[in-house]
C-alpha cells in the first residue's frame, strides 16, 4: 500500500510528461514543415546552433525562449532540440543560458547565406577609433538588446572622449531603439549630442505594420528606468517613446540622411542631406535594411508612392498597388484589403516562396473575398497621377490607381560602412 501511495503519483507525472513531449514534438514537426515549405530557413539575426551530440533533449531551451508564446521557434525533433522556425528567431539568447549541458552556440549567418557584420570591440567601437556601432547594424535584431547596446556605447564614449573640444561630443545616426537609448544616455551623462534620423522616431519599429507585437521582454531606458510593459505592440512603444522624447526634449533631427563621415584631426566631419556637422565621436545606430530599394520607373517620384505601410486605414476605399513578394509586401496588401481598400499585389516572381504561411493565408483569404488581386510574373513599368502601367507576361496593361506601396527590400549599408573605412566581416554561421 505504501508503494502504491508513491508509485501512482510518479506514474501520473511521468505519463503527463511523456504526453507533453509528444505534443511538443508533433508541433515541432508541423512548424518545421511549414518553414521548409515556405523556404524560410535562414535566420535574420543572432541565432542558436545546437550540437545534437551534446543535447540531452530536456527542452529547457524551448521553455526559456521568450518568443515561444507567439511563435514556435525552438522545438524537439527526434528527441533533440532544434531550431524549427529559423526566420522567427530574433536573437534573445535565453536558450543558450538555459541549456544545462552547453550544447548551444549563438552565431550569425549560416553556411548557405552569410551576414555582413561590422567588426567591433567588446565596447562597440569599430576599427576606426571614435566610430561606434550599436543595435541592428551589429546583428542584434532584438529591441531590448539594441536599447542596452545604445546605452553601453554612450557610457564608453563618455569615458574615452574629452568633452567640449567640438560643438557635438557624439553624433548619433538613427533614432531607432539603439539611437533613442543613446540619446537618453547622452542626456543623462551631460554629453552634448545630436541624432540624425532619415525617417521618423522609432526607425525600423516605425515601419512595422499596425498592431505588430514588437517587444516580448522588458527593457530599461536611461532617465526612464524599466519599461512597464513586458509585451508591446508597435503603437504602444512609439507612443511611449514620443512622450519620453517631448519630456526630455531630445535633440533629434528627422528626414535627414548621412552621406559621408570623414576623420579630420581627431574629430569627425559628418555630411548629411541637410548640412555638415563636427563631432568628437559617431555612433551608428542604423538598421540593416538601409535605404528602401526603388524601382527606377517613370513617375516613382510622385507623392502617391511610398516605401512602407504605416496605417492601413488611410487606404480605405482607395485603389492601391503593392509591389513585392516578401512578408512586408504580403502584410501590407492583406492589411489594406482587410481595412476596405482595393488592392493589386504585383510580384515579378511566380510564387511567394519566402513569405510566412500566415501571410500567404491572409492574402489567399483577401483574394477569395474579392478585395485583393494577385499578379505574379508582373512588373510595374510606369506610374502616373491616376494610373499605373503593368507588364503581365507579354501583356501591357493600364490600371486605375490612387496609391503605390513599394516593398522591394532595402539597400544594405555595407558600401557606406566601407567608404567610412569600417571593416565588415561576412559571417557564415560563426560567433
pLDDT at 154 over 90: yes
pLDDT band at 59 (very low <50, low <70, confident <90, very high): confident
Grid coordinates standing for 74?
525552438
User: DSSP character for 426?
Assistant: E
Question: Using CA atoms, how far apart are residues 231 and 254, in angstroms rounded to an integer?
Answer: 27
CA distance 50 to 95: 10
Backbone dihedral angles phi then psi of residue 87, each to the nearest 5 degrees? -70, -15
> What is the pLDDT averaged over residues 34-40?
73
Task: Tell me the C-alpha distance between 274 and 394, whole Å.
Answer: 44
Looking at residue 373, its pLDDT comes to 93
Ranges of H-type helices in 162-265: 177-189, 234-248
Q: Band of the pLDDT at 141, cuts 50, 70, 90?
A: low
The pLDDT, as a whole number, for residue 344 is: 94
Domain 305-410, CATH number (from 3.40.50.2300, 3.50.50.60, 3.40.50.300, 3.90.79.10)? 3.50.50.60
- Over residues 412-422, the pLDDT tens digits come to 788 888 898 99
Residues of the chain with CATH 3.30.70.20: 2-107
pLDDT number for residue 343: 94
Which range among 167-181, 214-228, 236-250, 396-410 shows the weakest confidence by mean pLDDT? 214-228
Mean pLDDT of 132-139: 83
Fold observed for domain 116-290+412-427: FAD/NAD(P)-binding domain (3.50.50)
Strands 115-118 and 104-107: unpaired
pLDDT of residue 193: 94
For the segment 310-356, what is each residue's pLDDT rounded down to a tens digit? 788 889 999 999 999 888 899 899 999 999 999 999 998 888 877 77
Nearest alpha carbon to residue 348 among 329, 361, 371: 329
Confidence of residue 3 (pLDDT cuts 50, 70, 90): low
User: C-alpha grid cell for residue 241?
Assistant: 517613446
Which has the closest alpha carbon to 290: 307, 275, 274, 277? 307
Does domain 2-107 sit in CATH 3.30.70.20?
yes
Residue intervals of the chain classified under CATH 3.50.50.60 are: 116-290+412-427, 305-410
Amino acid at each position: 500500500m505504501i508503494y502504491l501511495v508513491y508509485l501512482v503519483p510518479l506514474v501520473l507525472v511521468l505519463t503527463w510528461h511523456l504526453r507533453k513531449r509528444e505534443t511538443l514534438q508533433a508541433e515541432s514537426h508541423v512548424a518545421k514543415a511549414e518553414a521548409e515549405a515556405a523556404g524560410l530557413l535562414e535566420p535574420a539575426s543572432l541565432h542558436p546552433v545546437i550540437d545534437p551530440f551534446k543535447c540531452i533533449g530536456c527542452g529547457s531551451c524551448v521553455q526559456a525562449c521568450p518568443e515561444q508564446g507567439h511563435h514556435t521557434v525552438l522545438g524537439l525533433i527526434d528527441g533533440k532540440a532544434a531550431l524549427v522556425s529559423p526566420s522567427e528567431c530574433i536573437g534573445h539568447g535565453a536558450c543558450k543560458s538555459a541549456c544545462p549541458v552547453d550544447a548551444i552556440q549563438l552565431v550569425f549567418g549560416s553556411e548557405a547565406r552569410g551576414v555582413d557584420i561590422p567588426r567591433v570591440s567588446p565596447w562597440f567601437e569599430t576599427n576606426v577609433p571614435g566610430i561606434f556601432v550599436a543595435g541592428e547594424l551589429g546583428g542584434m535584431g532584438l529591441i531590448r538588446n539594441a536599447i542596452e547596446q545604445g546605452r553601453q556605447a554612450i557610457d564608453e564614449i563618455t569615458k574615452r572622449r574629452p568633452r567640449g573640444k567640438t560643438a557635438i561630443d557624439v553624433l548619433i545616426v538613427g533614432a531607432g531603439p539603439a539611437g533613442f537609448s543613446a540619446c537618453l544616455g547622452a542626456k543623462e551623462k551631460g554629453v552634448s549630442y545630436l541624432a540624425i534620423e532619415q525617417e521618423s522616431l522609432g526607425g525600423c519599429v516605425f515601419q512595422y505594420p499596425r498592431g505588430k507585437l514588437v517587444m516580448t521582454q522588458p527593457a530599461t531606458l536611461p532617465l526612464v528606468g524599466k519599461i512597464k510593459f513586458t509585451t508591446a505592440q508597435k503603437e504602444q512603444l512609439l507612443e511611449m517613446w514620443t512622450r519620453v522624447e517631448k519630456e526630455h526634449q531630445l535633440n533629434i533631427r528627422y528626414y535627414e540622411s548621412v552621406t559621408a563621415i570623414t576623420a579630420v584631426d581627431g574629430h569627425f566631419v559628418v555630411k548629411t542631406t541637410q548640412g555638415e556637422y563636427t563631432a568628437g565621436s559617431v555612433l551608428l545606430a542604423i538598421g540593416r535594411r538601409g535605404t528602401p530599394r526603388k524601382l527606377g520607373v517613370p513617375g516613382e517620384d510622385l507623392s502617391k508612392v511610398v516605401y512602407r505601410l504605416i496605417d492601413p486605414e488611410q487606404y480605405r476605399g482607395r485603389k492601391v498597388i503593392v509591389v513585392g513578394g516578401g512578408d512586408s509586401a504580403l502584410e501590407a496588401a492583406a492589411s489594406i484589403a482587410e481595412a476596405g481598400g482595393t488592392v493589386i499585389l504585383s510580384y515579378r516572381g511566380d510564387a511567394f516562396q519566402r513569405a510566412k504561411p500566415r501571410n500567404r493565408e491572409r492574402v489567399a483569404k483577401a483574394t477569395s473575398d474579392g478585395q485583393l488581386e494577385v499578379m505574379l510574373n508582373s512588373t510595374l513599368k510606369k506610374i502616373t497621377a491616376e494610373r499605373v502601367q503593368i507588364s503581365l507576361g507579354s501583356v501591357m496593361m493600364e490600371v486605375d490607381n490612387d496609391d503605390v506601396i513599394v516593398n522591394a527590400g532595402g539597400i544594405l549599408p555595407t558600401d557606406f560602412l566601407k567608404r567610412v573605412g569600417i571593416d565588415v566581416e561576412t559571417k557564415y554561421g560563426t560567433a
